Amino acid sequence: MTHKQLLTSSLICAVILVPVAVAGDPPLEEVVVTGEYAGPGMWQVTKPGDDSHVLWIIGDPPPLPKRLSWKSKSVEAVVLRSQEILRDASLTMKPDEKIGVFRGLALVPSALKARRNPDDGKLETLLPPALYARWLVQKKRFLGHDNGIEEWRPLFAANKLRTAALKDLDLRDRGMVWDAVSGLAKKNQIRVTEPKLEYVFKADELKAKLKEFQHESLPDVDCLAATISLTEALSDRDTEEKRARAWATADLDGLRALPALPNVALPCITAALASEAARQNLPANIRDQVHALWLREAERALAANESTLAIAPLDKLLADDGYLARLREKGYEIEAPH
């Protein structure tokens, strides 16, 4: 474990953008979508009465098979005529001074203890009986007989379950679009913008904060509950194959017709923000700030470039208060994928 990984995974003093968890009984059959499909749909955003500048937005999909492949001439054409590619906004945290390897290693024992529930609490007593029974099913499949995790906080248990499930099912939840267009962007020297909010914490307070965190309770049962619900929802192979093909063939109506996936990010981020370390280092409206940053960059790029390709998670685009809804509120004209 490097000191950077330690800070990221164990402190919870940053917002934990928990990726979507995946699971199921039998593994998904390989889904390979190839050929000259319309590709994942793109929204076209313009100012009213001015179509000389266009912001094209493509949605990164929910968990799909890693080996799913797609090829879209329309997406490639937009990349090649664009002056900029805009990726999703994110949050980063860093210490106010460099933390050396030996200092980082000295923090490992405290960080490992921080994963455990205060007062030696166990998941069996923290979770409602029905939820705990569902947890045992998912734990057995993806984590085996890992009894040590029973002493972990629900937030950390959820993250470990998600990671193991993604690996076991050979699924991914982000980056599929970027992998397809990054080569073209690099080859043609197209500008890439990755908006980031950066916050700094005091390195000399790190050890004390970890010890404080060990005794702090978090409202994170809902985080694990949502993760379990998501793993159960994704166990339907037929549905997930339909979701994969609908995304790769720009079938937006087909995507909307499928059952909505449980929202994992919201309860897990809420739990992380409830920690004292997060409250001291991050503003309470950090998620709104991250969203607002992306919208500012999108408006800037639309005004500056004749063509911009933006990549954002599909759930952030389609949410009632998501990127597309906020752009509409600002008066932009939006044409949905055909």
- Look at residue 15 and tell me whether its pLDDT is greater than 60: no
189 dihedral zone (left: phi>0; alpha: psi -120 to 50; beta): left
Burial class (CB within 10 angstroms; exposed 0-12, middle 13-18, buried 19+) of 254: middle
Distance CA 158, CA 165 (A): 11
pLDDT reported for residue 273 = 81
> 247 or 58: which carries more pLDDT confidence?
58
Is pLDDT of 327 > 50?
yes
pLDDT tens, 97-153? Answer: 666 554 554 544 556 667 888 888 999 999 999 999 999 999 998 889 888 899 999
User: How does the average pLDDT of the chain come out, rounded?
Assistant: 81
Per-residue pLDDT tens over the stretch 296-313 = 999 999 999 999 999 999
- Return the percentage of the chain with pLDDT > 70, whole number: 82
Q: Tell me how far apart the alpha carbons of residues 227 and 262 are, in angstroms, rounded to a whole number.
A: 8
Residues linked to residue 335 through DSSP beta bridges, in sequence order: 44
This prediction has a pTM of 0.79
Domain ranges in the chain are 3-17+30-335
pLDDT score, position 46: 97
